[in-house]
Structure 1
Amino acid sequence: MQLQTAERKRVKLRLNIASPSGFGKTYGALLIAYGITGNWEKIAVIDTENDSASLYAHLGDFKSLSLHPPFSPDRYMEAIRICENAGMEVIIIDSVTHVWKGQGGLLEYQNSLGGRYQDWAKATPLYQKWLNAILQSQCHVITTNRKKQGYNMITEGNKTKVEKAGLDDEIRDGYEYEMTIALEVINDKHLAKASKDRTGLFVDKPEFLITVETGKQILDWCNQGRSTEPENHAFTEKINSCNSIAELGRLYIQHPEYQQTHNAQFTKRKKELQPALMTADAHLNHQNLHSNGNGSI
């Protein structure tokens, strides 16, 4: 634990786009992603929306990973790891609504436990683990979620009536506050506005159309400050210098801040060390056989 002067560092984008179905969430996410990378082949879409991303295949050769039920947090996290290990620069998760209310999602899981308030004690850690996989990814991450009509119950005297109350996000309350930017597509003309913005690029600005330039603007903001690449490279070298799986495990436990960002490097080094471990075990077993007169261990 060390007190130090605050310093602006380069960051990876965490952006959410919310809207009702048909307002252009997926299309907007792809345009922003291309503005960030300038390379369609470095963009991956984790698609829970019945392969809807394929409707935009004419834009470029982006990658797609279809995610089918059950929509558990673990399956989302596995999909994120696949994209990271493939060297993607931007991951689009379209959408996160299913991890909340889809088949096998968190609401269904909490319901299966009894649906009581105390059952969230088991469901919430799964949500947080899933959220951390997004927040700690080494890639830029863009997510989408659906919005639905909200309602209020109004009591007047002995009568109760239901009134429309705007649109509600179909994801856990507070999700957008974890993002760098949260955009809402407000109508079928694809106009967007910021509901939360740490960059200052879109706050108090009129509604706008999401374009490739939007992604370029955001990338410029992300790249302000000191690069963390030297630190990341130095830690990768530490991983590669581990000579046993036990040593690699100790390094992993000692540095939780690198567990997600360097997951691909940890996995790669573990696979490299496994053959050596098997060879060592075989050699030890061979020695034990020869040191025992009856051939038993």
Structure 2
Amino acid sequence: MTLPAPTRTGQQAQTGNQYDDGPFTFRPATKDKAKARVAIQGVSGSGKTWTGLSVAHGLSEGQRFAVIDTERGAASLYVGINGIQFDVLQMHRFDPRDLVKALAAAAQAGYGTVFIDSLSHFWKGADGTLEQVEKAKSKYGGNSFAGWKDGTPMQNDMIDALLTYPGHIVVTMRSHTEWVLQENDRGRKEPVAMGMRAEQRKGVEYEFGVVAAMNIDNQLTVLKSRCPSLHKRVIQEPNGAADIAKPLLDWLNDGAESVDTSAWIDSASDESATAAQLLDLYREVESHGALATPFLHPGTGQPTNLGDFIKERGTALKAASAA
């Protein structure tokens, strides 16, 4: 049996839920200007906070950026060094839903770069995903596995908010520390701390464009990079702005102009918008993978995402016209 050649089609007739049952439409591929998604993992004392700040400073091109701090003010110790200036939000409870709220507030404030130090707390810190699963299991007869019915959506929503934030994102992650015996320059065995795996949900590294690991000697190794010039680089005492942010920005900016998400938000909020226009807008945002873009609801001031807001308005307008 020979399949027909694929074709690109316009919007098809909708059945059932208009928003959830959209058409599968292929469009010409383009390399749009993208935003950086950088993760730096390492053991305590490896320099990941300072390196992350330097990367964020470089990505923001000298502008103030936002820091979401879970490390009891560690980032603020470096303010002013090499001209680095930022605004900070201290967090002491680490419900992943609160990170979504913080990102929505940062987007509303217009920060072009957000640095999260560290993402590990939202996995295994107070009220993090693991604690949310532990709390939820009581609803399922103490079954921890069933508790993931609550924990997984929270974790996924947090990752979606990170990936769709309308600016650059830099995160640090703690590494599981394992001590191994290595031979020193005197020929003697000595214990050395090795960072083995990031303290976050397994596979989280796949979500970032650049993933680097730092060791106790302040050496950075790029484990993964979609940016060719950073691929497999090993940098001793890295200057995050020059060694990572600059080549990354050069590569990211080598493309078509990126979509301004604020224009989508304005269109979604337009009082003259019709239900049909909002459905078309939803499809456009969906085609760019930006439905989960976090922002503050213009009516309630509460965190929401672009897809839910468009769907809410479009559904309400359709129901009103049918009444």
* Pairwise same-fold verdict (TM > 0.5): yes
What pairs up with 1:105-254 in 2 under 5 angstroms? 105-112=128-135, 113=137, 114=142, 116-150=144-178, 167-188=196-217, 190-211=218-239, 212-213=241-242, 214-229=244-259, 232=261, 235-243=264-272
Q: Which residue of the other structure, out of 84, 90, 94, is the alignment partner of 1:66? A: 90
> 1:291 — aligned with what?
none
- Structure 1: distance between partners of 2:300 and 2:280: 12
> 2:49 — aligned with what?
26
- Structure 1: distance between partners of 2:278 and 2:220: 45
Q: Is the helix fraction higher in 1 or 2?
A: 1
Q: Deviations over 1:28-67 (max 9, x none)?
A: 11111111122242x1110000111111112233111001
Q: Which residue of the other structure, out of 63, 72, 78, is the alignment partner of 1:50? A: 72
Q: How many residues align?
A: 254
Contact kept, 8 Å, 1:252 with 1:259, in 2: the verdict is no
> Once the 2 structures are TM-superposed, how far is the Cα of residue 245 of structure 1 from its aligned partner?
11
> Once the 2 structures are TM-superposed, how far is the Cα of residue 139 of structure 1 from its aligned partner?
1.1
> Once the 2 structures are TM-superposed, how far is the Cα of residue 99 of structure 1 from its aligned partner?
0.8
- Structure 1: distance between partners of 2:229 and 2:157: 30
Q: Deviations over 1:176-213 (max 9, x none)?
A: 1110000101223x210111111122223333433221
- Structure 2: distance between partners of 1:54 and 1:248: 45
Decide whether aligned partners of structure 1 residues 174 and 226 sit closer, same or farther in structure 2, where only a CA change above 3 A counts: same
Decide whether aligned partners of structure 1 residues 10 and 105 sit closer, same or farther in structure 2, where only a CA change above 3 A counts: same
- Structure 1: distance between partners of 2:195 and 2:267: 52
> Once the 2 structures are TM-superposed, how far is the Cα of residue 22 of structure 1 from its aligned partner?
1.5
> Is it true that 1:13 corresponds to 2:36 in the alignment?
yes
> Once the 2 structures are TM-superposed, how far is the Cα of residue 74 of structure 1 from its aligned partner?
1.1
> 1:39 — aligned with what?
62
Question: Structure 2 counterpart of 1:5, which letter?
Answer: P
- Structure 2: distance between partners of 1:201 and 1:141: 19
- Structure 1, 202-211 or 5-14: larger mean CA deviation: 202-211
Decide whether aligned partners of structure 1 residues 247 and 67 sit closer, same or farther in structure 2, where only a CA change above 3 A counts: farther
Decide whether aligned partners of structure 1 residues 228 and 73 sit closer, same or farther in structure 2, where only a CA change above 3 A counts: same
> Once the 2 structures are TM-superposed, how far is the Cα of residue 239 of structure 1 from its aligned partner?
2.9
- Structure 2: distance between partners of 1:85 and 1:248: 24
Decide whether aligned partners of structure 1 residues 227 and 119 sit closer, same or farther in structure 2, where only a CA change above 3 A counts: same
* Secondary structure of the structure 2 residue equivalent to 1:201: helix
- Structure 1: distance between partners of 2:194 and 2:145: 25
> 2:17 — aligned with what?
none
> Once the 2 structures are TM-superposed, how far is the Cα of residue 246 of structure 1 from its aligned partner?
8.6
- Structure 1: distance between partners of 2:263 and 2:72: 41
- Structure 2: gaps (5+ residues): 1-23, 180-192, 302-323
> Once the 2 structures are TM-superposed, how far is the Cα of residue 233 of structure 1 from its aligned partner?
6.4
- Structure 1: gaps (5+ residues): 152-163, 272-297
> Once the 2 structures are TM-superposed, how far is the Cα of residue 150 of structure 1 from its aligned partner?
4.5
Question: Structure 2 counterpart of 1:219, which letter?
Answer: L
- Superposition RMSD in Å: 2.9
Question: Structure 2 counterpart of 1:241, which letter?
Answer: D
> Once the 2 structures are TM-superposed, how far is the Cα of residue 7 of structure 1 from its aligned partner?
1.6
- Structure 2: distance between partners of 1:262 and 1:122: 20
Contact kept, 8 Å, 1:13 with 1:140, in 2: the verdict is yes
Q: Which residue of the other structure, out of 72, 95, 101, is the alignment partner of 2:124? A: 101
- Structure 2: distance between partners of 1:172 and 1:73: 12
